[in-house]
Chain A
């Protein structure tokens, strides 16, 4: 094929590239976890992508050995493997879409109550500093020992 200049590419074996791509992905997962900034569900989604990879490899082996075909030509195996990616991506999407995540000290919990997102100053004082409760709401933070962040040091 001369279209798109893919002819020269076709001579390359893609398998080592796919295998090699696992290394930076593992580094990505490691640093994403170490950052402690990712929404937990999204991080689990990115990790679940490895399950998709494992299932795809297993399905490709079955397609080759039982049917003598590449995975993409054995539709049930192909679709059955790809659905793991659909689930993984859904977790990533959901994780980054949710506004009530508990990843950053309750700033989002305030936001989800319909208030302005906490500015960094308010966030630093913790979730209890800006409670606005409706009648009958239990306090979001139990009474502490009387010490306050507003106390002079």
Chain B
């Protein structure tokens, strides 16, 4: 775990924690407004969290080529997460929110 300096580790940990808290904040945001669509956005943020975990695991083992599969997994979950985010934002479009 020494491929990353302590400050760089903290930057990673902070990003992940912020993302998790943001998911919770999106849930509350939707509840306050009584707009259930926001739950989909919170859920759509999950693949990116998984992606981040994969990246951090790879860093934890000092970025070895043997764990290159983790990087591919991270790329895949990033793609999946971004598709999910787009779909969630689609449900929030004003012309769709009436129904």
Contact = CB atoms under 8 A, between A and B. Distances in A.
- Number of chain A interface residues as a range: 35 or more
A13 B76 CA distance: 11
Interface string A23-47: 1110110111011111100100000
Contacts of A42: 22
Interface in A17-71: 17-18, 20-25, 27-28, 30-32, 34-39, 42, 70
A97 interface: yes
B75 interface: yes
Interface string B16-37: 0011011001101100110100
Interface residues of B, number: 48
A23 B12 CA distance: 25
Contact of B85 (A13, A24, A34, A117): A24
Nearest to B30: A96
9 contacts: A22-B82, A35-B92, A37-B97, A82-B8, A86-B15, A92-B18, A96-B28, A97-B25, A104-B33
